[in-house]
């Protein structure tokens, strides 16, 4: 159930200790019983040296995501950064030659797509809204770490990671003064090509702007911790489930239970899947939790969209799936974008204007994206609150590299964020 004012909702509980506050906050998002307990800690982040009686804040809450071009003029730069990213599209020694070539060729086509969704990606607007709303809630439920200051760091669009880092330093974090920052991935499910890439970029700029020291050195640089995945957070699951229920309610009572729920996530190249990437399993975990919350009211499938280029990608593809079901006479379908937290060209263009339009049947619909959803923003606050309370530097899972990983960048950035002593498979 959505909570309009978290403090009013928790008023029954004594707010005198942080543990009572923790359970009260989790209570409003979901039932406490279903909340999976976090596993043992990785590195413990040392408290920022401050007067023991005052708040340990300010705390910088940095929302990391890929970003998108806000105008069609920004599409060229967006794509050239994207195709230059060897964590996303590894082109080997030819990267600096092929990257600009492919992005230049692709720009006009992708510009048309952004023009068709209103002239740009709404991801910046939503990220800024979500992060600032979350920080308002955190200021109320976590006064120990207040004030919480929202930042956005995009991998391929403005505000870029380096701009965010420069702003942090300007705002008095680091630069000899210490301070705490939380890198909060906005990809619920971890992939080395998405969250991994953003963390590698963050580590690169940390090294360039603050030197090579460890994450916990006493020289007054920023102490970072990471929220690296949250695929089954009950508030996330609840927000998805409510949006699905709202769309199911638009069908007649007679047809409703036979509507097929088609969860759709951005696909991955099979080379990334076979390297051992955790994303497919984590996406499946989100889907299963949402279905459990819906009491398996409808039949469902998970399918994969937006593959790019000629290599093999994880399937079945969303567009084929819709076509095949419609051909079989199953014309009541609800598409659910399950791996991204706001609208973007893959929902507004690929799903709405291609897949659904081409299906040519009014029974093929899409669940709304999370965007400004209150239940979702409260879930973000709950995830951040628990992280701040836990003292963890990141999840245990982050310390294990993919079995096929050969990347020096992954190694170095994990050494930094996870802490040397907690890395499990570093060689």
Ligand X SMILES: C=CC1=C(C)c2cc3[nH]c(cc4nc(cc5[nH]c(cc1n2)c(C)c5CCC(=O)O)C(CCC(=O)O)=C4C)c(C)c3C=C
Interface ranges with ligand FES (CB under 6 A): 192, 196, 275, 401-402, 405, 407, 410
d(CA 362, CA 317): 21
**Least Å distance between CB 368 and ligand X?**
16
SS3 content of the chain, % helix, strand, coil (to 5): 50, 10, 40
Give exposure, 38-48, as e/b (b: 16+ Cβ within 10 Å). Answer: eeeebbebeeb
Q: Does residue 183 contact residue 175 with C-beta atoms inside 8 Å?
A: no
Q: Does residue 157 contact residue 70 with C-beta atoms inside 8 Å?
A: yes
Given ligand FES, ligand X, none, residue 402, with its beta carbon under 5 to 8 Å by kind, binds: ligand FES
Alpha carbon 231 to its chain centroid, in Å, reads 9
d(CA 58, CA 41): 23
Cβ distance to ligand FES smaller for residue 22 or 410: 410
Q: Which structure tokens are listed for 195? A: 């969250």
Choosing from 25, 45, 82, 287, the residue that interacts with ligand X (CB under 6 A) is 82
3-state class (DSSP) for residue 19: helix
Given ligand X, ligand FES, none, residue 407, with its beta carbon under 5 to 8 Å by kind, binds: ligand FES
233 classed as catalytic = yes
User: Among 85, 87, 139, 233, which one carries the catalytic annotation?
Assistant: 233
**Least Å distance between CB 229 and ligand X?**
11
User: Among 85, 228, 332, 382, which one carries the catalytic annotation?
Assistant: 382
Stretch that binds ligand X, among 13-21, 38-46, 268-276, 319-327 (CB under 6 A): 268-276
Query: Does the footprint of ligand X cover residue 262 (CB under 6 A)?
Result: no
**Least Å distance between CB 129 and ligand X?**
15
Enumerate residues 304-333 that contact ligand X by CB under 6 A: 308
Closest Cα to residue 239, out of 190, 285, 293?
293
Query: Does the footprint of ligand X cover residue 89 (CB under 6 A)?
Result: yes
Cβ distance to ligand X smaller for residue 66 or 418: 66
Cβ distance to ligand X smaller for residue 10 or 89: 89
Please count the CA atoms within 13 angstroms of the CA of 171 that sit on its side-chain side.
Answer: 21
Given ligand X, ligand FES, none, residue 405, with its beta carbon under 5 to 8 Å by kind, binds: ligand FES
Cβ distance to ligand FES smaller for residue 29 or 418: 418
Choosing from 6, 269, 399, 419, the residue that interacts with ligand X (CB under 6 A) is 269
Given ligand X, ligand FES, none, residue 401, with its beta carbon under 5 to 8 Å by kind, binds: ligand FES
Closest Cα to residue 190, out of 272, 254, 283?
283
Cβ distance to ligand FES smaller for residue 203 or 240: 203
Stretch that binds ligand X, among 3-11, 46-54, 201-209, 264-272 (CB under 6 A): 264-272
Q: Does residue 57 contact residue 146 with C-beta atoms inside 8 Å?
A: yes
382 classed as catalytic = yes
d(CA 380, CA 130): 8
Output the residue with the shortest Cβ distance to ligand X.
Answer: 68
Query: Does the footprint of ligand X cover residue 187 (CB under 6 A)?
Result: yes
**Least Å distance between CB 71 and ligand FES?**
33
Query: Does the footprint of ligand X cover residue 346 (CB under 6 A)?
Result: yes
Please count the CA atoms within 13 angstroms of the CA of 303 that sit on its side-chain side.
Answer: 23
Query: Does the footprint of ligand X cover residue 272 (CB under 6 A)?
Result: yes
d(CA 422, CA 405): 17
Q: Which structure tokens are listed for 367? A: 């669940």
Alpha-helical segments (H) within 3-94? 6-9, 18-29, 75-83
Q: Does residue 322 contact residue 362 with C-beta atoms inside 8 Å?
A: no
Q: What positions carry a catalytic annotation?
A: 233, 382
Provide the binding-site residues for ligand X, judged by CB under 6 A: 66, 68, 79, 82, 88-89, 106, 110, 121, 123, 187, 191, 193-194, 266, 268-269, 272, 279, 308, 339-340, 344-346
């Amino acid at each position: 159930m959505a909570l309009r004012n978290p403090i009013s909702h928790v008023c029954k509980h004594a707010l005198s200790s942080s543990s009572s506050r923790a359970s009260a906050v989790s209570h409003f998002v979901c039932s406490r019983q279903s909340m999976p307990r976090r596993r043992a800690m990785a590195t413990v982040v040392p408290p920022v040296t401050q007067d023991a009686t005052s708040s340990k804040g300010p705390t910088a809450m940095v929302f990391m995501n890929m970003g998108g071009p806000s105008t069609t003029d920004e599409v060229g730069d967006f794509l050239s950064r994207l195709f230059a990213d060897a964590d996303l599209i590894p082109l080997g020694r030819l990267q600096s030659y092929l990257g600009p070539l492919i992005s230049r060729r692709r720009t006009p086509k992708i510009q048309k797509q952004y023009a068709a969704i209103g002239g740009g990606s709404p991801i910046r607007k939503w990220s800024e809204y979500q992060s600032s709303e979350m920080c308002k809630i955190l200021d109320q439920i976590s006064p120990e770490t207040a004030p919480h200051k929202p930042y956005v760091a995009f991998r391929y669009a403005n505000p870029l990671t380096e701009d965010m880092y420069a702003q942090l330093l300007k705002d008095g974090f680091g630069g000899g003064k210490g301070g705490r920052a939380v890198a909060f991935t906005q990809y619920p499910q971890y992939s080395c090509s998405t969250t991994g890439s953003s963390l590698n970029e963050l580590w690169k700029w940390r090294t360039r702007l603050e030197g090579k020291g460890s994450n916990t050195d006493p020289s007054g640089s920023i102490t970072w911790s990471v929220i690296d995945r949250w695929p089954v957070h009950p508030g996330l699951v609840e927000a998805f489930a409510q949006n699905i229920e709202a769309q199911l309610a638009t069908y007649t009572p007679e047809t409703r239970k036979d509507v097929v729920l088609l969860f759709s996530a951005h696909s991955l190249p099979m080379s990334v899947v076979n390297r051992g990437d955790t994303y497919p399993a984590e996406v499946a975990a989100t889907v299963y939790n949402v279905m459990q919350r819906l009491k398996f009211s409808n039949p469902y499938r998970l399918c994969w969209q937006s593959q790019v280029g000629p290599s093999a990608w994880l399937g079945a593809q969303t567009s084929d799936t819709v076509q095949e079901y419609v051909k079989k006479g199953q014309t009541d379908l609800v598409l659910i974008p399950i791996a991204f937290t706001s609208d973007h060209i893959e929902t507004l263009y690929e799903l709405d204007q291609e897949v659904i339009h081409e299906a040519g049947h009014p029974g093929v619909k899409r669940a709304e994206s999370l965007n400004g959803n209150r239940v979702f923003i409260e879930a973000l606050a709950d995830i951040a609150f628990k992280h701040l309370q836990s003292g963890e530097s990141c999840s245990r899972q982050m310390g294990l590299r993919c079995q096929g990983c050969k990347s020096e960048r992954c190694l170095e950035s994990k050494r930094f964020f996870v802490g040397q002593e907690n890395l499990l498979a570093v060689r």
